[in-house]
């Protein structure tokens, strides 16, 4: 089973409208291997409309970094998934460790957001991963399985193309401390086995599981050539056009 590779840029709270436009115009001028790789850029909410227009005739996709699970209401500062759909948004990152840690999002809250995104045909990129302390205590599999099943068990009907999973060990995010290809592959294979147990082998073979945490142009190729690593979620190294473009070339090589 060959799964199309996917590279997702998570810009976090970086790049306002003018930097977004600059990035996209520079990226568009180059020839990117988008037939072989799905490329998704997730800018801050205020740049979403801009990117939707700038990428209109492009193969490059775009997504949001978060959304609420209600359509409307008294949720000051939140963004409705209905508004994202109105923009034509195709993807949304859900449950990133920064949201879990800084904004105290729990699995129940995350499950609601994943369900709502699926209902609206916005593909959620569900992030899961253990802390350094949990890894040191050999709890990686247990933690990742719980984060995954707390969400999957809440979904009534799921097709493999309706969701993406990102394995992001918290200790590797923004630290320059990448998981080795073996460490990442081991957890990815485990995540796929959780899907096999729940939905069967055919389903599990179609699920795309991305690795995230200090990915850059020098390590991306080794990581994404592992059997169960189908792409990468990239923060810091996705902010500069040159570096992001080099990552795409490396994945394609």
Q: How far apart are CA 117 and CA 85, in angstroms?
A: 9
Only one of the segments 25-33, 61-69, 82-90, 210-218 lies at the binding site for ligand PGA (rule: CB under 6 A); that segment is 210-218
Tell me, yes or no, if 96 is annotated catalytic. yes
Three-class secondary structure assignment of 51-98: HHHHCCCCCCEEEECCCCCCCCCCCCCCCCHHHHHHHCCCEEEECCHH
Query: Exactly one of 151, 187, 233, 248 binds ligand PGA (CB under 6 A); which one?
Result: 233
**Between 48 and 125, whose beta carbon lies closer to ligand PGA?**
125
Which one from 105, 168, 188, 216 is the annotated catalytic residue? 168
| Backbone angle region of 58, left / alpha / beta, with phi > 0 → left and psi within -120 to 50 → alpha | beta
**Between 168 and 228, whose beta carbon lies closer to ligand PGA?**
168
**Between 20 and 178, whose beta carbon lies closer to ligand PGA?**
178
Total of residues contacting ligand PGA (CB under 6 A):
13
Only one of the segments 17-25, 153-161, 208-216, 245-253 lies at the binding site for ligand PGA (rule: CB under 6 A); that segment is 208-216
Taking residue 83's Cβ as centre, other Cβ atoms within 10 Å add up to: 17
Q: How far is the CB of 174 from ligand PGA (least distance, A)?
A: 4
Q: How far is the CB of 10 from ligand PGA (least distance, A)?
A: 4
Q: How far apart are CA 67 and CA 211, in angstroms?
A: 22
The owner of tokens 């490329």 is 39
Which one from 15, 68, 96, 188 is the annotated catalytic residue? 96
- 215 forms part of the interface with ligand PGA (CB under 6 A): yes
Alpha helices in the chain (DSSP H): 17-29, 48-54, 81-87, 97-102, 107-119, 132-136, 140-152, 181-199, 201-206, 220-224, 241-252
**Between 94 and 215, whose beta carbon lies closer to ligand PGA?**
215
**Residues annotated as catalytic (active site), given as ranges:** 96, 168
Applying CB under 6 A, the residues found at the interface with ligand PGA are 10, 168, 173-174, 212-215, 233-237
């Amino acid at each position: 089973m060959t799964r199309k590779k996917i590279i997702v840029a998570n810009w976090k709270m970086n790049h306002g409208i003018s930097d977004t436009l600059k990035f996209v115009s520079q990226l568009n001028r180059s020839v990117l291997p988008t037939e072989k790789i799905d490329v998704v850029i997730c800018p801050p909410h205020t740049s979403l409309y801009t990117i939707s227009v700038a990428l209109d005739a492009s193969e490059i996709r775009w997504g949001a970094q978060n959304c609420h699970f209600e359509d409307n209401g008294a949720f000051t500062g939140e963004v409705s998934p209905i508004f994202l759909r109105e923009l034509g948004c195709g993807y949304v990152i859900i449950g990133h460790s920064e949201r879990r840690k800084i904004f105290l999002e729990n699995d129940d809250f995350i499950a609601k957001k994943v369900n709502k995104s699926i209902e609206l045909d916005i593909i959620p990129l569900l992030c899961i991963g253990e802390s350094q302390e949990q890894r040191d205590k050999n709890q990686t599999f247990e933690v990742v399985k719980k984060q995954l099943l707390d969400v999957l068990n809440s979904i009534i009907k799921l097709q493999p193309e309706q969701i993406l999973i990102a394995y992001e060990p918290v200790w590797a995010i923004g630290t320059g401390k990448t998981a080795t290809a073996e460490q990442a592959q081991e957890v990815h294979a485990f995540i796929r086995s959780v899907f096999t147990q729940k939905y069967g082998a055919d389903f599990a073979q179609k699920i795309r599981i991305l690795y995230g945490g200090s990915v850059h142009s020098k390590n991306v190729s080794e990581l994404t050539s592992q059997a169960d690593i189908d792409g990468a979620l990239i923060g810091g190294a996705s902010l500069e056009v040159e570096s992001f473009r080099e990552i795409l070339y490396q994945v394609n090589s």
